[in-house]
A = this chain, B = another copy of it.
Amino acid sequence: MGALHEGHAGLIRRARRLAGPHGSVVVSIFVNPTQFGPKEDLSKYPRPFAQDQALCRKEGVNLLFHPTADEMYLSDASVAVREKELSQGFCGASRPGHFDGVCTVVAMLFNIIRPDVSVFGEKDWQQLAVIRRMVRDLRIPIKIAGHPTVREEDGLAMSSRNRLLTTEARRDAPRIYQALRAVAMEAEDGEDSVARLCANLKKDLLAIPGASLDYVGIVNQETLAPLKKLLPSACARALVAVRLGSVRLIDNLPIPSSR
């Protein structure tokens, strides 16, 4: 989607390591209209292309794929790829049609670029899970590498939206990560009730000045199915979406089982 930052640079470096010195690293920058909901403003999405291009050049990207919407979508396009389970809750619930747009454009990009491996950030955990599912179910012959969230020094997950935060909200925003860390530590210390862990997580997040919660969940990290108890058999992940003023931030963290 462009508006590249240090988090994206981490993905590019990971791709370079996976490709090896003789492989090619391709970056796609495409602000995809079909993943914006009717209430989301496509025209206001940042498009600092010259800066993005400079970052790609600096990181040794071999090919920057930057199509227009008209190049990607014919006016009578009528085919979509849809994931029906993992995409329904969380960001999918607040952004109807979003993951249909994501799956379809990612399938198209895969067919155009035909990479051996494709790197996605873990910060968009649900997106990563949906794409892994699409690749699994459609037998797409591409390895998906999830790359750990790159964070600011104070713990805030890097995002192009961070620059939209007010000074106060930016100061408070690292408390999202702190709340996730706190709940991971409670789990490590033996708490295995997901209801209790979620309640504590919500309490910590709502204590951030001006925060409202879009969602909070602790789920099976692959299927995004709800959990009642943490179990060593199913890796759990806490997923949160928090609004600080008008800015919606998402983050997530693995929640260990102490058993």
Contact = CB atoms under 8 A, between A and B. Distances in A.
Interface of A: 74, 76-86, 103-104, 107-108, 111-112, 114, 133-134, 136-141, 223
Closest 4 CB pairs of A and B: A79-B137, A78-B85, A111-B139, A78-B84
Contacts of A111: 138-141
The prevalent SS among residues of A at the interface is mixed
A76 B103 CA distance: 18
- Count of this chain's copies in the oligomeric assembly: 2
Contacts of A81: 79-82, 138
- Interface centre among A133, A138, A141, by most B CB within 10 Å? A138
B223 A137 contact: no
A137 B141 CA distance: 19
B139 A78 contact: no
A112 B139 contact: yes
5 contacts: A78-B137, A79-B133, A79-B136, A79-B137, A114-B141
A139 B65 CA distance: 15
Contacts of A80: 81-82, 84
Contacts of A74: 136-137
Given A78-B84, A79-B82, 13 more contacts: A74-B136, A76-B85, A76-B223, A77-B137, A78-B83, A78-B86, A79-B136, A80-B82, A107-B138, A108-B138, A108-B139, A111-B139, A111-B141
- Interface centre among A78, A104, A111, A133, by most B CB within 10 Å? A78
